[in-house]
Amino acid sequence: MTRKEFAEILGLEAERYSTYERGTREPPLSVLVEIHTVTGVNLNGLIAGDIDKA
């Protein structure tokens, strides 16, 4: 899956998602919840920004 496709699944524009991925902007909780819902990644890890806990 491409970044653009993943952004679309999340209901985001690709450029907006890219800012979250690069760390230039913090995603709102609603986006983190959607990432958790789509991927099953641990929400606490996403919130903490610790991929090892995610």
Per-residue model confidence as pLDDT tens digits over 4-34: 999 999 999 999 999 999 999 999 999 999 9
* Whether pLDDT at 43 is above 70: yes
What's the token pair of residue 50? 């610790």
Please give the pLDDT value at position 53. 58
pTM: 0.83
For residue 25, report the phi and psi dihedrals to the nearest 5 degrees: -140, 150
b/e sequence 13-30, b meaning 16+ C-beta within 10 Å: eeeebeebeeeeeebeee
Residue 42, pLDDT above cutoff 80:
yes
